Amino acid sequence: MRYRQLGNSDIQVSVLGLGTMTWGHQNTETDAHQQIDLALAEGINFIDTAEMYPTPTKAETWRTTERYIGSWLAASGRRDEVILASKIAGPARDPSSQQHIRDGLSHHDRRNIVEALDGSLKRLNTDYLDLYQLHWPDRTTNIFGQREYPYQADSQNVAIEETLAVLADQVKAGKVRHIGVSNETPWGVAEFLKQSERLGLPRIASVQNPYSLLNRLYEGGLSEFTHREGVGLLAYSPLAFGALTGKYLGGARPEGSRLSAVYRTFNRYDSASAQEAITGYLEIARQHGLTPAQLALAFIIDKPFVTSALTGQTSLAQLRDNLGALDVSLSDEIKAQVQAIHQRIPNPAP
């Protein structure tokens, strides 16, 4: 296993992190504990979760993922071996879809942050989080696959400096070691850094955004923050919901897969351009004796701006396959082949 510094913090995290968003829908508590055991045995030390998990969030299952992790921590007594991260939900675009999380209006103000954090700590059976993240911005912007900026005024949102002040209090209280953002834009990251410097408040250590062979938009503006400001990327969906393994080609929906079980109407990866790109990457993997997952993950962790790639898996076999990416060194030939597809079909599934 290889480890990288989390932003400007004193924390070293594994280049592969354990994503958990299926635990509670597709994975049982026993499954979750087995994944944690294998991950730690192989050197993974970073576990990422969120109060709203598993996704898609539902009133009857939200918070389940944190409880599964918490029961493992309570039984194992291995809290000091884990870098643990969670997230507070943001306000829903459609509050009716998220009424179970503080009435669908989970703004990043004092009441919501304190309530969310205290709830996460209780479920996780821990006194502190190594990293606490804002799951998405408390403002309308182009995230979750929306390419164009919406130019939409918000009826209510919490100023970034107010959010930072509340998070600073949580750090001072010892509940949180470091803070981060997720699904953020270049403007958002810059504003968080500006306000933290202006007010003498904690800096964000990381940004958790999607990054994969099918979505390399992070490279265009956000990647420079790693180089110049010490804000590392925690790359989520590095396998594009598993689409980069090829299992959804031609509209296939294998039994038990994410797109058959919980995201039946999710079609971001069904476009002709996405399917063409996936087919091309599968051929590169075949030519070089790699599994598709190993090629996709090796590409991610090869990037200097990536701190950790967060893999979500529903079986131990998938986790072992993902771990195989650590043994892959991408040749100049492979990189050129990957780049040729990207230049022909750039970012087909943001």
Q: Rounded to whole angstroms, how far apart are CA atoms 270 and 250?
A: 8
pLDDT band at 154 (very low <50, low <70, confident <90, very high): confident
Report the candidate in 77, 105, 78 with the shortest Cα–Cα distance to residue 91. 105
pLDDT over 90, % of the chain = 89
Exposure letters 90-103 (e unless 16+ CB within 10 A, then b): bbbeeeeebeebbe
**pLDDT value at position 182?**
98
- Over the stretch 228-254, which tens digit does the pLDDT of each residue have? 999 999 999 999 999 999 999 988 888
pLDDT of residue 265: 55
Give the pLDDT score at 94.
84
pLDDT at residue 266, as a whole number:
64
* Joined tokens for residue 298: 């090796």
What is the model's pLDDT at position 163? Answer: 98
pLDDT band at 293 (very low <50, low <70, confident <90, very high): very high
The dihedral over CA atoms of 132, 312, 184, 14, expressed in degrees to the nearest 10, equals 60
Q: What is the mean pLDDT of residues 213-221?
A: 96
pLDDT of residue 262: 67
CATH number, domain 3-240+295-330, options 3.40.50.300, 3.40.605.10, 3.40.50.2300, 3.20.20.100: 3.20.20.100
Sign of CA dihedral 223, 224, 227, 230: negative
Put simply, whether the predicted model's pTM sits higher than 0.75 gets the answer yes
Does pLDDT of 261 surpass 80?
no
Close Cβ partners of 202 (under 8 Å, ≥ 6 residues apart): 164, 167, 168, 171, 178, 179, 196
pLDDT of residue 156: 85
pLDDT score for 135: 98
Query: How large is the average pLDDT for residues 26-54?
Result: 98
Mean pLDDT of 151-170: 94
Per-residue pLDDT, averaged over 277-299, amounts to 98
Question: HEC string of the chain?
Answer: CCEEECCCCCCEEECEEEECCCECCCECHHHHHHHHHHHHHCCCCEEECCCCCCCCCCCCCCCHHHHHHHHHHHHHCCHHHCEEEEEECCCCCCHHHHCCCHHHCCCCCHHHHHHHHHHHHHHHCCCCEEEEEECCCCCCCCCCCCCCCCCCCCCCCCCHHHHHHHHHHHHHCCCEEEEEEECCCHHHHHHHHHHHHHHCCCCEEEEEEECECCECCHHHHCHHHHHHHCCEEEEECCCHHHHHHCCCHHHCCCCCCHHHHCCCCCCCCCCHHHHHHHHHHHHHHHHCCCCHHHHHHHHHHCCCCEEEEEECCCCHHHHHHHHHHHHCCCCHHHHHHHHHHHHHCCCCCC
Residue 145: per-residue pLDDT: 84
Domain spans, the chain: 3-240+295-330
Q: Tell whether the model's pLDDT for residue 183 goes beyond 80.
A: yes
Average pLDDT over residues 103-131: 97
- Mean predicted confidence (pLDDT) in 49-74: 97
Matching residue, tokens 């005024």: 153
**Section 179-192 average pLDDT:** 97
Residue 290 has what pLDDT?
A: 98
Instruction: Enumerate the active-site residues.
Output: 53
3-state secondary structure 162-211: HHHHHHHHHHHCCCEEEEEEECCCHHHHHHHHHHHHHHCCCCEEEEEEEC
Residue 158 has pLDDT above 60, yes or no: yes
pLDDT score for 202:
97
> Would the pLDDT of 264 be above 90?
no
pLDDT of 276 strictly over 90? yes
% the chain with pLDDT above 70: 98
CA angle 30, 33, 35 (to 5 degrees): 110
